[in-house]
Structure 1
């Protein structure tokens, strides 16, 4: 496994590397290079180019996650709030990992990142497509004396924060879809998955999971079951450091969770509403059992209430909903 990762790190610059140089780097024979390269590329699901007389390379460069670069990009307050930073080249799910770590006593402020997830998860049991090295898979653990029932609005707070970080990085025309999808021109750019556990009256712990498509090849996203985009397209190809983006997100989420613990959802409501995707539009709200069907509750999206619930103007008047999935009504 270490050899696989060492090879990918060597090729991450996207430049050609000769078989002889690779053999020296790995301490293997020249004839063993191709076999090692092929196994590494297959292990991480990466394409590999080979050109006679020039060597081997990845079709596109990769900025792999780097603890030192992330920490160096954090402010003093950000570093103080971050208890531990875990980076994995492969993991089942960053959220699942932190939920296990939380049960074992991991401190508040523990963060987990992965180059690839083998069992990435979205809302309602969906698979989160997680190819190696091209997207961002981040989870953050937060402990609070609050009861789990008091954390319902944390999803909207986190969504508003992520949208604002990306807007500050140059992304325009972003929109939030209740409760926690981030869209660009109607296509999914990012999503959040929040999971909570604890005593009925508190304390409890919350894991905030963030997945952002950064620069994904269409073939890598072929299993995504809805229109999607990535930040590379949103930014018109302008470069954005993956490690610096991680630092910005960690900084913002750590600060936001502290604010949410003190003041609840109220400080984030206006920010969320500025990104509200479907305000004033006819929509259909589907429950878990109805997702994927044509049933559901139809109405005009009337924004979010102060507790984070969705408001719909229906034939029966204004109604509020705490859960479900919103889609534009045909």
Structure 2
């Protein structure tokens, strides 16, 4: 089940942040996916969706697409898309994932003036014209195929793609948690999708939760 919206009046991103959602400018999508009730949802779902969006953008001709742990897509150091996933268990014991994707398509600087980070959109990186509905169709196809593979095989088939286009890998920055922050070097992800960092004390740590804030120096 897929829902596409022309605008969002209460669009939100990770950690409750407001998602700028002007009418007719971008792609706002929610996809419901029901997982096998006999299996736990494997780790790395948001990363799998990130890889699917990465592949869709490459397919339509956009270059220098990167994935940023845990749920952002970047083009030339600027954010082009974000992912928000919520998982629910209903009375029949199925696990339903609601996968929200916001993808900037053709947003003017004026409409995006309140966004507090560097951003870009699809039309800024293509010389050929492409329809918003066409992009949405390609995006949905890639996400559905990725979900089918993920449900069968877990995160493993997606690891090498993520590793090649990892936005954070090799950079330095800070990991900010509710109890403080630490200086780190980002060293990629583990095979189950955890973020690998090394702190000032040369300690290697795995971060599994997306409820942290990452700052890049």
Distance 1:146 1:308, change over 3 A: farther
Alpha-carbon distance, 1:146 to partner: 5.0
Identify which of 185, 191, 196 aligns with 2:76.
185
In structure 2, stretches of 5+ residues that fail to align are none
Q: Tell me the alpha carbon deviations over residues 215-247 of structure 1, each in whole angstroms, 9 at most, x when there is no partner.
A: 111111122121111111122x43111111111
What are the residue-to-residue correspondences of 1:77-226 with 2, within 5 Å?
110-146=1-37, 150-198=41-89, 203-226=94-117
The question of whether the paired residues in 2 share the 8 Å contact of 1:310 and 1:320 is answered with yes
Q: 1:319 aligns with which of 179, 187, 205?
A: 205
- Candidates 129, 141, 166, aligned match of 1:276: 166
Give RMSD over aligned pairs. Answer: 1.8
CA deviations over 1:121-149 (Å, ceiling 9, x no partner): 11110111111111000111000125896
Q: What is aligned with 1:100?
A: none
Q: Is the 8 A contact 2:104 2:122 kept in 1?
A: yes
For the 8 Å contact 1:181–1:190, the answer to whether it is kept is yes
- 1: CA distance between counterparts of 2:9 and 2:61? 30
Which one of the candidate residues 168, 187, 190 is aligned to 1:305? Answer: 190
Point out where structure 1 has 5 or more consecutive residues left out of the alignment: 1-109
Q: Once superposed, which parts of structure 1, at least 4 consecutive aligned residues long, lie more than 4 Å away? A: 146-149
* Preserved CA contact (<8 Å) 1:188 1:228: yes
Q: TM-score, normalised by structure 2?
A: 0.91
Higher percent of residues as helix:
1
TM-score of the pair, normalised by structure 1: 0.61
Larger radius of gyration: 1
Alignment of 1:67-78 (within 5 A): none
State the alpha-carbon separation in 2 of the partners of residues 153 and 214 from structure 1.
26
CA shift in 2, pair 1:151/1:120, >3 Å: farther
Aligned to 1:266: 156
Change (3 A) 1:193 1:147: farther
Native 8 Å contact 2:4 2:28 kept in 1: yes
8 Å contact 1:138–1:211 — kept in the other structure? yes
Which protein, 1 or 2, shows the higher relative CO under an 8 Å CA cutoff with sep ≥ 6? 2
For 2:13 and 2:128, locate their aligned partners in 1 and report how far apart those are by CA, in whole Å: 28
Task: State the partner residue of 1:92.
Answer: none
CA–CA distance in 1 between the matches of 2:40 and 2:204? 24
8 Å contact from structure 1 (residues 113, 138) kept in 2: yes
Match of 1:232 among 105, 115, 123: 123
- C-alpha contact 1:148 1:204 (8 A) present in aligned 2: no
